[in-house]
Amino acid sequence: MKSLLVTNPGSRCGDKGIEEIEARLQRWGELVRVNPEQPEDLPEAILEHGKQVDQIILGGGDGTVNLALDALLEVDRPLGLLPMGTANDLARSLNIPDDLEQALNIVLRGHQRRIDIAFANDVSFINAIGMGLGPQMTREMDSETKAQFGVVAYLVGIVRAFHKQRGFAAQVDGGSCRFDGRFLQITVANGIHYGGGMTVAEDAKIDDGLLDVLLVPEQSRLALLASALRFRLGQTRDADNLVHRRCKALRIETDPPLAITADGEFLAETPVECKVRRHALAVYTPE
Ligand SMILES: [Mg+2]
């Protein structure tokens, strides 16, 4: 078994514990080790070495996975994930522990699962895209603040974002899921967790070929605060001021046009067409 171990030099944990991982992988089989100088060089490193190995082990967080995603789809090798980022929502969606040794154990045990990959205007994403309050919060907070994204910081963030980003008009067309109204936030999720610890819906799945759409209709600040924690936890059932639907594809138009974050990065803007490719990527996960 030949492995490619790629780490993101920009990841938060840096090299902490990675030598240990490297040594274990060398004892276990053949290892190609790549640590590009710039995070932007990750895709090329994967494209260059990925086809010659049996599996790719990626050290980093959601930002790293998003950077590497197109290259990973291209080389089509099972992915082992070592959560080393500021936000590790994908790892959480897959029940992969933050501890690197334990995460590596999961890779070595070899149980694979195929998960979905989603696209927003042909830009791939794995956790979620957001428009409205979420991106506004991203603008206001540096990554350090996001790393300590406690409940209080979250509530303060949402109130601050609310000052600058009021409602917008949107038309959502996802077949049976159709809305025309004013919203504060729209999230379209492929996975379960996103945004550094948010949950789109408690029963969301990353392999059902469906996108979870979560709409926050325009409402008062007080009502928003009242629903903010349910929004964070994905407790959408019986929530008056949250709308949750599932669909295979959808189109969203907004007035005014809005910036969209995909997996926390600003990568697109409305109008946006979202679709999902079912079971596009094999990942090592706990059984
Ligand atoms: Mg899904």
Residue-range definition of the domain harbouring residue 198: 123-278
Residue 182: inside a domain: yes
Where is the domain boundary, 45, 77, 110?
110
**How many domains does the structure of the chain reveal?**
2
pLDDT the model gives residue 237: 76
Distance 173 CA to ligand 1 centre (A): 17
Helix pair 18-28, 100-109: axis angle to 10 deg: 20
Residues 39 and 165 in one domain: no
Distance 182 CA to ligand 1 centre (A): 25
Distance 284 CA to ligand 1 centre (A): 18
Contact present, 114 and 282 (Cβ < 8 Å): yes
Residues 181 and 274 in one domain: yes
151: phi then psi, degrees, rounded to nearest 5: -65, -40
Residue 115: inside a domain: no
Residue 233: inside a domain: yes
Where is the domain boundary, 110, 134, 162?
110
Instruction: Kindly indicate the confidence band of residue 13, based on its pLDDT and cuts at 50, 70 and 90.
Output: low
Residues 213 and 163 in one domain: yes
Residue 238: inside a domain: yes
Give the pLDDT mean for 103-108: 97
154: phi then psi, degrees, rounded to nearest 5: -65, -45
CATH of the domain at 87: 3.40.50.10330
Residues 164 and 211 in one domain: yes
β-bridge pairing 177-189 and 168-174: antiparallel
Distance 278 CA to ligand 1 centre (A): 9
CA dist 59 and 283 (Å) reads 13
Distance 140 CA to ligand 1 centre (A): 29
pLDDT tens digit sequence for 123-161? 999 999 999 988 887 777 665 565 565 677 777 777 788
Instruction: Kindly indicate the confidence band of residue 200, based on its pLDDT and cuts at 50, 70 and 90.
Output: very high
Residue 118: inside a domain: no
Contact present, 174 and 245 (Cβ < 8 Å): yes
Distance 80 CA to ligand 1 centre (A): 20
